[in-house]
Structure 1
Amino acid sequence: MIEAITLGPPGPFRPVAADRNPRGQVRLSGGTFTMGDTFGEGYAADGEGPVHDVRLDPFLIDATTVTNAAFAAFVKDTGYVTDAERLGMSAVFHLTVQADSADVLGRATGTPWWLVVRGASWRHPHGPLSSIGALQNHPVVQVSWNDAQAYCAWAGKRLPTEAEWEYAARGGREGNRFPWGDELTPRGQWMCNIWQGTFPTHNTAEDGHVATAPVKSFRPNGFGLWNMVGNVWEWCADTFAADTYAVRAGQIPVHDPRGPLHDPSRSAPRVMRGGSFLCHDSYCYRYRVAARSSNTAESAAANIGFRCANDAG
């Protein structure tokens, strides 16, 4: 991911928690499940092990990621300005940039396929010449963890914990690699929106999508949740550490682990889950349900979105 540029304190907007709102959410019963990488395929720095049992209370989670249309309603109602808009630039994948050359400000160190583009934001996800006009039912992107928190407060929801997210993504299956099983393309059928071809230069788009797909593309998992892997990375409430699971060792089962929702220092990385349309096993095999990644709270990019959760009530 592109390295974040530190922002100053947030603007005058202060979200006031709305009444709990379960609209668009699926109720999951919780219970005990096995969390982590049972195949030994994860990256060591991501901390996908050790595998351990987690017990969750019942909770609610959105059937889809938050759409451009829903985020636009939030902005219209509140006047909220996202971190990327405040900064005036954001990260865009090099093959999808829609901007004049003067607005391409540089490349990310170590990941040169990410460009810093002036004017890229949730309204203009691939640069100032792009638009969400035809993407109302696509996931909102170019939103930071801070932006997701603000939306959740307005919507009467919250971000899912990392444990809730993985339980939901598994869709009732125990120990599988993907929400639908262990094979990426059962019977030759694509089940999620990821990269096909040679990364990062040629995407054959065999799954039908070069960038984001509508939020109800492909098949929902066993819980009726759409696109839990691929399409866009999804923010979780938790702060990230590679040794999170190791610290839990011996607590069997761990009960409803929850990362802090607020970090006064604003410095701790936050968990992202699910991978995105740019994931490919040659460099980012993170479209598995156990895969973990992270970014700073103010970071945004053209492949980062979120879905909301709620207490069961």
Structure 2
Amino acid sequence: MGRRVKPCCTPSVRTPSVSAPLASAASAQTPQAEAPATASTANTSASVFVNVQGGSFVMGTDSHVGFAEDGEGPARAVQVSGFSLAEATVTNFEFREFVRATRYITEAEQLGSSFVFYLQVPALQRATQRPASQELIWWLDVEGACWQRPTGPGSNILNLLQHPVVHVTWNDAASYCAWAGVRLPTEAEWEYAAGAGQSSPRYPWGDELTPEGEKVCNIWQGEFPGRPSENWAPEPLPAKSFKPNAWGFYQQAGNVWEWVADSFHAGYHTATSNTDPLDLRPSTKRSMRGGSFLCHESYCNRYRLAARGSNTPNTSASNIGFRVAK
């Protein structure tokens, strides 16, 4: 038995009807406004990719430190074919190039709001924003919040171009992939790359959260959710903050959640193949990996390698981004 789920990660916009998922994140259609005649529509991706040789590893965990509903186990031997994965999450700069080329309108922009952690919103504006729900009082449904206004009206990304793009749904990520000629990684690829050839590590760098007392990831510092440490801000850091893991991948623990290709099912580990697993069964949710700056061991410890998260494919928030593969 794992721990009981605590809903700190991200609320959901709404639950869509169950339908057969896309076979690939690169096959999504791109909603767009009329593009100017001078706009370039050539596929491009500024991401730096690391080639990963195929191999086998132990995926998942038999530990009970996570939440039973997340389906982190049982641990099993999985074989993964070779692939390439971006060394970091897609940045605001990269996503801006996509929008400039296609005039893409994200789902948060179409909806008119997105979820923002309350301490990211200026104090004078918090009282005017809707809470996401009575249960998730630390999340606000902020009108006007979107990828280019990450904390709502008055904010911008001019000084955040190397930060992960946030307020992007799974559908938005799939549309970016279709334009850039890339795809979302599978859960297995993501976990294999994060572990970097180690023997069942707890984190991308090993088993200790703070090796030799060193802070090596952006997760919650202080008492969640109302008392962050004085020397830490509850917000994403630049995509290439901290040292990469042994294979060259940045921040696969904390900072922002990363959408992956799979549908989410708690029975993932018992229902998918042990060779290049990919769960495409119908589901109302898509899987996310890595946790975010809002994760803390006392509440939500989903920044471990085996941890799994999920949300509806049309949900966006200030702690959700994505990384691409090919």
**In structure 2, C-alpha distance between the alignment counterparts of 1:136 and 1:85, rounded to whole Å:** 19
Q: Which residue matches 1:73?
A: 97
Q: Which residue matches 1:58?
A: 82
Contact 2:31 2:104 in 1 (8 A): no
Q: Which moved more, 1:91-100 or 1:44-53?
A: 91-100
Q: Which moved more, 1:40-49 or 1:74-83?
A: 40-49
Equivalent of 2:183 in 138, 148, 158: 158
Contact 2:44 2:179 in 1 (8 A): no
2:54 alignment partner AA: G
Ranges of 4+ aligned residues in structure 1 off by more than 2 Å: 5-8, 10-14, 17-23, 98-103, 105-109
2:119 alignment partner AA: L
| Structure 1 unaligned regions, length at least 5 | none
Asked if 1:40 corresponds to 2:60, the answer is no
Instruction: Give the total of aligned pairs.
Output: 298
Equivalent of 2:51 in 6, 17, 27: 27
**Structure 1 residues 129-208: aligned runs within 5 Å:** 129-204=154-229, 208=232
**Counterpart of 1:61 in 2: which secondary structure?**
strand
CA displacement at 1:18 relative to structure 2? 7.2
Contact 1:18 1:153 in 2 (8 A): no
Asked if 1:4 corresponds to 2:28, the answer is no
**In structure 1, C-alpha distance between the alignment counterparts of 2:262 and 2:105, rounded to whole Å:** 23
2:50 alignment partner AA: V
TM-score by length of 2: 0.85
2:325 alignment partner AA: A
Asked if 1:255 corresponds to 2:281, the answer is no
CA displacement at 1:5 relative to structure 2? 3.2
* Alignment CA distance shift 1:272-1:18 (3 Å): farther
* Alignment CA distance shift 1:245-1:174 (3 Å): same
2:101 alignment partner AA: D
**In structure 1, C-alpha distance between the alignment counterparts of 2:186 and 2:235, rounded to whole Å:** 26
Deviation by residue 1:201-223 (Cα, 9 ceiling, x = unmatched): 011165x5431101111110011
Deviation by residue 1:3-48 (Cα, 9 ceiling, x = unmatched): 213689x88449xx97796951100002111000243322100000
Asked if 1:282 corresponds to 2:298, the answer is yes
* Alignment CA distance shift 1:34-1:11 (3 Å): closer
**In structure 1, C-alpha distance between the alignment counterparts of 2:63 and 2:177, rounded to whole Å:** 34
**In structure 2, C-alpha distance between the alignment counterparts of 1:78 and 1:137, rounded to whole Å:** 21
Contact 2:55 2:79 in 1 (8 A): yes
2:219 alignment partner AA: I
* Alignment CA distance shift 1:80-1:168 (3 Å): same
TM-score by length of 1: 0.89
Q: Which residue matches 1:293?
A: 309
Deviation by residue 1:143-196 (Cα, 9 ceiling, x = unmatched): 000000001111110000010000011122121100111110011110100001
**Structure 1 residues 47-126: aligned runs within 5 Å:** 47-98=71-122, 100=125, 103-126=128-151
CA displacement at 1:126 relative to structure 2? 1.1
**In structure 2, C-alpha distance between the alignment counterparts of 1:19 and 1:75, rounded to whole Å:** 12
Identity level (%): 49
| Structure 2 unaligned regions, length at least 5 | 1-9, 18-28, 34-40
* Alignment CA distance shift 1:154-1:87 (3 Å): same
Equivalent of 2:268 in 244, 261, 280: 244
Contact 1:22 1:60 in 2 (8 A): no
